[in-house]
Structure 1
Amino acid sequence: MRIPFACVLLLSATALAQPNDSYRKFINQHINGRMSADRCDQVIGERNIKINVNDCKEKNTFILATTNHVRAICGQAGEPFGQMTKSLQPFQIIVCQLRNQGARPPRCQYRGQARTRKIAIRCANGFPVHFEGDIVHFEN
């Protein structure tokens, strides 16, 4: 059976445009439109966010937005920022900071703080794959 070359190109382009594991991990760790500062322990536990089996994650940031709004940063809603891409507009975020240093999962306890910041992410093939940090933004 011969597959026309145009079909092979279309299938290849479709495969490249599909979200990958890094994007799915980014969504799990960083996007939650209903997040609040008092839910860090609950959400981090439910989503199994940690460094590894033995270590709590020191800090995790949740972006209060849809996946489409965050993904748009990798296109027209973002600008180059070193090796990263910076959002043109600020986002509501919740920063969860580990309170009990040295704790091991499942005993990780976090203090949440709500902020409004531009964010810096790494994009791959048009998808966000790494949250670098938030950027304090001062308007003139």
Structure 2
Amino acid sequence: MEIHQSTVILLLLLCVSSYTHAQPAHIMRRYQNFLNHHRGPYVNVEMCTDVIRDRKINDTAGNCKPVNSFIQADQDVIKAVCGGGKNYRLFQSGQPFPVVTCKLKSGQTYPNCKYRGKLSTCDIVLGCEHGFPVHYERSVEINSVSQVTLKM
């Protein structure tokens, strides 16, 4: 019987510990929004218009978003860019990622937006809170001749 009680107490302690280390709800909402807007492991350049429409991606006024980037990676790999910082900070990836950048080619009001996509290999700069990406700041494109250009 004593083993059973010890097991229950240990489980309760683990539950309380994981509850106190959980992320605030507003950060988790921002993280999920970030993933919806910028995680696209299977997004290719021909899919920009459909994915942006299906995911209901638009600017804060409900208009077509001029540019949106999709990182072709799993969420754990993207999250690793953030390190473990607690405060909001910008982090640049230490490795290049394939990124599909979708630029608006026609339309003003969502959902009547048409996009043209471009695939690039880029370092990514993310805004992170408590170790979670919550903002896509920019891509740092890596060209084959070792030139670096900033893209918004």
When normalised by structure 2's length, the TM-score is 0.75
How many residues in Structure 1 have an aligned counterpart in Structure 2?
128
Shift of 1:12: 1.3
Distance 1:10 1:39, change over 3 A: closer
Q: Hey, what's the Cα distance between the residues in 1 that align with 2:15 and 2:77? A: 31
The structure having more radius of gyration, on CA atoms, is: 2
**Counterpart in the other structure of 2:135:** 130
Query: Alpha-carbon deviations, 1:78-102, whole Å to 9, x = none?
Result: xxxxx410000000000000112x6
Amino acid at match of 2:95: Q
Q: Which has the higher contact order (CA 8 A, sep 6+)?
A: 1
Amino acid at match of 1:96: C
Equivalent residue runs for 1:72-111 within 5 Å = 72-75=80-83, 83-100=89-106, 103-111=108-116
Shift of 1:136: 2.5
**Counterpart in the other structure of 1:79:** none
User: Unpaired runs of 5+ in structure 2?
Assistant: 1-11, 148-152
Q: Hey, what's the Cα distance between the residues in 1 that align with 2:118 and 2:97? A: 14
Instruction: Tell me if 1:42 matches 2:47.
Output: no
Question: How many percent of aligned residue pairs carry the same amino acid?
Answer: 33
Deviating 4+ runs (over 6 angstroms): 4-7
User: Unpaired runs of 5+ in structure 1?
Assistant: 77-82
Instruction: Tell me if 1:114 matches 2:119.
Output: yes
Amino acid at match of 2:23: L
**Counterpart in the other structure of 2:36:** 28
Whether contact under 8 Å (2:120, 2:141) holds in the other structure is no
**Counterpart in the other structure of 1:54:** 62
**Counterpart in the other structure of 1:80:** none
Distance 1:75 1:97, change over 3 A: same
